[in-house]
Structures are given as structure tokens and as C-alpha cells.
Structure 1
Amino acid sequence: MSESIEMTAKAPVRSAPAPRRTTPAPRRRSTRRGPLHPATWAPTTVLVLILGLIWSAIAAEHPYILPELSEVGLALVDRPEVFLTNAWTTLSIALAGVACGAGTAFVLALVMSEVPVVRRALMPLAVVLNVTPVVALAPGLVLAFGFGMTPKVVVTAIITFFPVLINVTTGLRAVPPSVLHVFETLHASRTEVLWRARILYGLPYTFAALRVVMPLSIVGAVVAEFVAAGSTGGLGTMIRNAASTARLESVYAAIACLAAMGVLMLALVTAVERRVLFWHESQRRAST
């Protein structure tokens, strides 16, 4: 007994391991770049300058193909009220057309997502309407609705209808089966599944469609002004009249106004999308 106690006393005492010192992980620097960062605006600025130099070189050699950029700028400065008035006319047609076309497409997509028979009946007709040249429909629309603003709005609505219908229909059917199983477990009604799941998952697809059709509505309005008889206002009518008298500076000044309108509409949709879809993965990736 004494020997065991003596051996125990002579055994080395193991000390507890010292705690390891952990260094805090370095913070990740945010890679988000604002609009004033040179990496944001410099590439586009350089490209615009290069295109401007190419434009000026072609205009100097072939003045009957392209006007000088200074002439285009003078056309905008000399008659700003004319361009603003016609731009508002075109914008009114575009907004009314996209409201009618996109609104109708959204409602039909909701119905088609809930009633498969309606989807099978309407989708082929929507495809036929999409592949039909709108220019061919314009004379008939003028005869049906007169020479006012209505046929132009209808043409714009037809152009913007199909992209919204396809995207929203796809988005409403993009709900994961696991989410639908949870709603089924909770005994949710079809209306609750529609508002709390399908529309929520369909919002990114809806905004993707709006990013396409909002600038496209400007194209639809101009096409309607080109082909609709009796058109007296709008940038499309202004381009047609200026081209008939070879006033190229007015043609390209009107085109510049149309491009600015399309960019502003796209920027507006993008800003609203960031506000509404702040929770979505696509917006979180864009902010990092």
C-alpha cells in the first residue's frame, strides 16, 4: 500500500493544455461600387468617346449619311419645346400600352396558373399573336378604332403582352415542391398559396419582364406612330417627317430622345425592383 502511494506521488502531474489564442478573422471588404466609382462609369465613358470619334470621322467624309454631332446638339437646343412635346406624346402612348398589355398579361397568367384548361386554351393563341407582324395589324386597328390614340396604344399593348405573359406564368409555377408541401401540411387554401407563395416567387420573373417591356414599349409606340395613319404628334411621326425632307439632324435628335427615355424607364424599373426584392438572392448578390 505504501509503495503504491509512493509511486503515485512520484508520477508526473500533467497540466491542462493552455487555451489556444484565436485571432479574429479579417473583415471582408465590401466590393460594392457606387455610381461615382471610376470602375463604374469609366468603361462606358471611354466607349462613348470612341464611338463619338468614329461618328465624327464618318460624318466628315459622308455628311449625307450621318450629321455632325454638333448639328444634332443644336437641333435639340434650338427647339427643345418641340422635342419635349413630341416626347410626351410618345411616352403617353408607351405607358398606356404597357399598362394595358402587361396588366392583361398578368391577370391572364394568374388565371392560367390556377386553371390548367385555360392555360392550354390560351397559350397557343398567345403564341400566334406574338408571331403575327404588328405592322400588318395596324391598318385594321385604325379602321376599328379610328385615327386617335387608341390604335397606337393597342399596337404597343400587343408588343408588350407576350413577354409578360410568359415570364409571369413561369414565375408562378416556379415554387419549389417543398414549399407547396408545407402549405399543404398547414391546410392552406388555394388563395393563400397564390398570394403567399406563387406571387412571391413570381415577383423576380415579373420584374425581369418589366425590364424588357418598359423600354420595348417605346419601340412599340414609335412603330405605331410610323404605321398608323393620321398620326400628327410623337417622336415617331417627327422622325418620319424629318426623314422625308432629309433633315438628318432632327432625325438623330429624336432618336437620342427615344434612347434617353428608354434608359430612364429601365433605370426606374431597376430602382423599384431593388426596393421590392431586397430580400431576394439576386439583389443580395448585386449588393456585394
Structure 2
Amino acid sequence: MSELTVQDSTAAFAAVRGERGRRSRVPAWLRWGTWVPTLITFVIAAALWQLLAIANPYVIPTLDAIALSLIQNPEMYWSNSLTTLLEVVVGAATGILAGFLLAVIMSEFQIIERAVMPLVVIVMVTPIVAIAPALVVAFGFGMVPKFIVTGLVVFFPMLVNSLAGLRDVDQRALDVFKTLHASRWETFRELRFPGSMPYVFAGLRIALPLAVVGAAVAEFVAAGQQAGLGSLVTTSAAQANLPVTWASIALLCLLGVLLIAVLALVRKRVLWWSDDQITARG
């Protein structure tokens, strides 16, 4: 009797594991539990927005007015979106690269960290709105101040996360590398750099949305070229053109969402081993 019970339990366990395996092979976006709650939330939010817009027409525009503005002025929105995207790409790439390289140097030489980190903290706690006009005076009225502002916004989270990842090394693996007389470069290439990738992507998840915020803030406060979605928000708000204002804000949100989506795809390709470990533990 007990032998039959054990066999039945084993078969049931195998069936459950097989069902979980079949579920895991189904793409996440095809599972109703993934997209239905999000869809319901957006439908409720859209309905509430529409009701508030109808009741307060001079405060927020209706969704159809926003959509109509996007349809009627595609070239205006497209050109300004490209300008903001350029600021995000150039500024974020510069800030991310600088943050990671400085984290590498700090992880190898602690004296550099003790010397530089206080200055980095002072720069990071300085309001970016106060820095932008000074950058315009120093670098002119072109795109350079906007690139710098965007880079500064993403620099600190990238530095902190990368430094934590480069130092979070399995001590046993590090002892093995020391036993094999591996050089600093070999240790970095084979151990520290791969091990830091989960932290780096966590930093990127914070930095990329902040890059969009930084580009918009730079367009708000850095005088000069009046282009970009941030500038469009400022000028349309000054003219009380609510549909253009909120359409520009919606495009800024969409830009941030697209960046996060691309990052998620890249992370899945690069950190496939990390996802497998999480699944195995689950």
C-alpha cells in the first residue's frame, strides 16, 4: 500500500513539473495573467482621465484631443522626438561609460575612491537645474550642455551599481585565481566583469529613465536651441496649448518605456544564466 502511494506521489510530482515546464515555455506576453491586469489598469486610468478632462477642460485635455494633436502635427512631434532621443543616446552613453570606467578604477585602487568619491557626491547633490545655466555659459547655446546634463543624471547610479557589482566577487573563486597567479586583467576579464553584469543592468534600469528626465530638464532650463520634447512642453504650456503639452509628455513617457523594453531584451540575451538560476531556485 505504501509502495503504491509513493509511486502515485512520484507520478503526481512529475505531472506538476511537466505542467510547470509547459507553462514556462509559453512567452510571458501570451499569458493572460501578464497583460490582463495591466490592460484593466490602463482602461480604468483612461476612463478616469477622460471624466476629469470633461469636467475640467481648462486643466487637462481629453484623450481624443491629445490623439488629434498627434495626428495633425506628426512632423513637429517626430523632429522634436528625434532631438530628445539624440540627447538621451549621446548623454546617457557618455554618462554610463564614464560611470562604469570610474567604478573599474575605484574597484582596483581604493585610494582613488577615497580621493574622488567625495567630489562625485558633491556634484550629484547639486541641483541639476542650477548647473544647466552655468553649462550654457561655459559651452555655448548648442547641444553640448544638454548632453552634459543628461550624462550627469545617469552617471551616479551607474557608478554606484557598477562599483557594487565589481566588488561582489565570490571569495572562493578569487582565491582560485590568486592560486593560479592570474593577473589583474585576467581576474577582471574572467571574474569581476561577468559577475558585475547583474548590477550593471540594475544600474541601467535606473539610468535610462533618468536619461529621459535629464534630457527634458536640460531642454527646460538650458537656453539656446528651442528643439526637443522638453522645449515643446515649455512653449506649449506658456501658450496654454494643453493638447500639445500633454502629447509631448506622452511621447516622453513612451520614449522611456521603449528604452526599458529594449534593455529588457538585451538583458535577457546577456544574462540568460542569471534568469536560469532564478527559475531553478523558484
TM-score, normalized by length of structure 1? 0.89
The one of 2, 26, 43 equivalent to 2:14 is 26
Tell me if structure 2 keeps the 8 A contact 1:274–1:283: no
Supply the distance in 2 between the matched residues of 1:266 and 1:218 (Cα, whole angstroms).
11
Supply the distance in 2 between the matched residues of 1:207 and 1:144 (Cα, whole angstroms).
33
| Partner residue, 1:204 | 198
- Secondary structure at the residue paired with 2:250? helix
- Secondary structure at the residue paired with 2:249? helix
Supply the distance in 2 between the matched residues of 1:132 and 1:95 (Cα, whole angstroms).
23
| Partner residue, 1:36 | 30
- The amino acid of 2:82's aligned partner reads W
| Partner residue, 1:120 | 114
- Secondary structure at the residue paired with 1:63? coil
Supply the distance in 1 between the matched residues of 2:118 and 2:264 (Cα, whole angstroms).
31
| Partner residue, 1:139 | 133
Supply the distance in 2 between the matched residues of 1:155 and 1:283 (Cα, whole angstroms).
38
- How far residue 285 of structure 1 moved from its aligned partner, in angstroms, is 2.6
What is the 5 A alignment of 1:171-186?
171-186=165-180
- The amino acid of 1:240's aligned partner reads T
The one of 280, 285, 288 equivalent to 2:278 is 285
CA-based RMSD of the aligned residues comes to 1.8
- The amino acid of 1:195's aligned partner reads R
Superposed CA deviations along residues 32-91 of structure 1, whole A, max 9, x for unmatched, are: 352022211110111111111111111111111111110000001111111111000000
Larger CA Rg, structure 1 vs 2 = 1
TM-score, normalized by length of structure 2? 0.91
1:256 counterpart = 2:250: yes
Q: Deviating runs (4+, > 2 A) in structure 1? A: 21-25, 30-34, 282-288
What is the 5 A alignment of 1:67-82?
67-82=61-76
Identity %: 43
What is the 5 A alignment of 1:1-288?
24=11, 25-27=13-15, 28=17, 29-30=19-20, 31-32=23-24, 34-280=28-274, 282-285=275-278
Higher relative helix content: 2
Q: Structure 1 residues 286 and 70 mapped into 2: Cα distance closer, same or farther (>3 Å)?
A: farther
| Partner residue, 1:13 | none
Aligned residues: 269
Supply the distance in 2 between the matched residues of 1:286 and 1:39 (Cα, whole angstroms).
18
Supply the distance in 1 between the matched residues of 2:271 and 2:53 (Cα, whole angstroms).
45
